[in-house]
Amino acid sequence: MFCRAALNYVTVGGAPMVRTREVDILDGRTAALPGWEECGFELVEHPSAVRDWSDDDELTSVHHPEVEALAEKLTGCEHALVSGHIKRGPEQARQHRDLAPITFVHSDFAPSYLDLIRGSYRRQEDEGGHAALARHGLTADDVERASRIVILQFWRNLGAAKMDHPIAFCDARTVRVEEGKAFPVSDYAGSGFSFEALGVCEPDEPGRHRWYAFPELRPDETVAFRTFDTDLVRSGQTFFTPHSAFRDPEVPLCKPARRSIELRGTCIWS
């Protein structure tokens, strides 16, 4: 077991209100997990050519294409588009509270995200999206016409191997689709982007959700996790992977603080 820790589930309706529960967080390195397509997430060895993780230009030119290639390999999609990245750490949290570790159980997108993603690549101000299309020789029409869209996200530790707020992932096979409750997010981190995310309610049977974390994550590893899949949405299945930062009981707050990067691959099939 990784540890026993507190997770903040949401209550039903409106903006998320939390209900704290102690849960067992299991060691994902030693567990027999089947991979992201079944349980929603998996640990991937993925060395990067990035030399300076603080250089956003290098991240855009080097790491975005690296993660696109990884997403294509993992999903078998025709194209994966990475249009941006989010770094979390004390410096970013001081810039905007949305960039602090997210400490309630959630997944990033509700079913309504499909309409947003199909039209998002037409936004004139989305330079990252236009650059991703150009790398693949695609247009916004190709995204709108896609028969299937999967959002596969990637979380990478850039700081100390043992941190104050690691991230836990819930086995999607143990989650019912109705446990995800949509709530509005406005102007995320001052980006102008508004959407519906999912807060996740605690299960009605204690212990049904199975939680995992990966101890001492290295910068040459990344956790891939699914937050959207049009095929699963259409079939009424659990299309999301609940996740949350949590306090490692062995690490004092900010000693050391978590530093991480997240990227989102929009995986499309014609």
- Residue-wise pLDDT for 250-270, tens only, equals 999 999 999 999 999 999 999
pLDDT attached to residue 236: 96
Over residues 200-222, mean pLDDT: 95
Question: pLDDT of 47-80, one tens digit each?
Answer: 999 999 999 999 999 999 999 999 999 999 999 9
pLDDT attached to residue 13: 60
Residue 178 has pLDDT above 60, yes or no: yes
Output the pTM of the full model. 0.94
pLDDT attached to residue 18: 85
Q: What is the dihedral of CA 213, 217, 220, 222, to 10 degrees?
A: 20
Report DSSP state, residue 201: B
Question: pLDDT of 126-166, one tens digit each?
Answer: 788 999 999 999 999 999 999 999 999 999 999 999 999 99
Q: Find all residues with CB under 8 Å of 207, minimum gap 6, and list them.
A: 23, 24
Which contacts qualify for 135-141: CB closer than 8 Å, 24 or more apart?
A: 135/65, 135/68, 136/68, 136/79, 136/81, 138/79, 138/81
205 or 126: which carries more pLDDT confidence?
Answer: 205
